[in-house]
Amino acid sequence: MNKDFAIIGLGAFGRQLSMELSRQGADVIALDIDEERVNEVADYVASVFCCDSTKRSALEQLNLQEADCVVVAIGDKLEAVILTIILLKEMGVKKIIARSEDESVKRVLLHLGVDEVIDTRELAVNSLSYRLLSRSVTQYFEVTSDHSVATVRYDAKEPSPSLVDMDLRGKYGLNVLLIRRNGKEIIPGKSDRFETGDEVVVFGSKSSIRRWDRKQRP
């Protein structure tokens, strides 16, 4: 099932993120107050709008509360960022991610109820887009252009079969590197199982990680 995203702010980061999410099949709404920036992504993103995100009337017309996640990528215009986030929270948006490179600003945004604040100097767009499109991938690092290490949260209500019975390597080409459980790290053996809430660190191709991520949850 495709995910729906809204990207507010189409500077270099927001533009690249909206285009990458669209390329991977997501439904994206991209908006910016600058018409030139909006036109730059118009051919790549499903829906683009030139509007002021600090105006309630503008946001309400876009039904952003129906999006799976809204990314506020406005940048260094702190007043606009704060006003936009307040409006999104009042509208009942499910998940809000904001960007900031300033630690004091990060604390302010988290206090406002933002789910996550990212530092664009440290986080590659393709890594963020992969996490957003995944159901339970909480960390993702590219090792090569084809292979990655990812942390996948195991959310099933019942423990999994043993690793040997699951045969993740045979079925998905995945190698289980580590299991994190209740603050402890477990080097997995053939008889180990995943329990609800485990964070499973795996290595494999991007497509294999995504296939297992989709399969292991209903």
Question: Domain boundary at 102, 130, 158, which?
Answer: 130
Residue 1 has pLDDT above 50, yes or no: no
Same domain, 15 and 114: yes
- For residue 2, the tally of other CB atoms under 10 A from its CB is 10
How many domains, in total, are found in the chain? 2
Residue that is last in its domain, among 130, 147, 175: 130
Q: Which residue has the tokens 């991938």?
A: 137
Provide the pairing of β-strand 27-32 with 4-8.
Answer: parallel
At residue 126, the 3 state secondary structure works out as helix
Looking at the structure, tell me whether residues 91 and 155 fall in a common domain. no
d(CA 184, CA 93): 34
Q: What is the pLDDT of residues 8-25, one digit of tens each?
A: 999 888 888 898 888 878
The neighbouring-strand residues paired with 74 are none
Encoded tokens for 45: 């993103």
6-15, 141-150, 205-214: range with highest mean pLDDT:
6-15
Q: 53 with 98: CB under 8 angstroms?
A: no
Residues 117 and 188 in one domain: no
Give pLDDT tens digits for 52-110: 999 999 999 999 999 989 999 997 788 899 999 999 999 999 999 998 878 888 888 99
> Which residue segment(s) compose the domain that 16 sits in?
4-130
Query: Which residue among 130, 146, 164 closes a domain?
Result: 130
Q: pLDDT tens for residues 106-133? A: 888 998 899 988 876 655 555 666 566 5
Q: Answer yes or no: are the C-beta atoms of 27 and 4 closer than 8 Å.
A: yes
To 5 degrees, how large is the angle CA 111–CA 65–CA 13?
65
CATH number at residue 11: 3.40.50.720
Please name every residue paired with 65 in a beta bridge, in sequence order, or none if there are none: none
3-state DSSP assignment of residue 184: strand
Residue 110 and residue 9 share a domain: yes
d(CA 46, CA 166): 39
pLDDT score recorded for residue 88: 96
Helix (H, G, I), strand (E, B) or coil at 159: coil
At position 166, the amino acid (one-letter code) is M
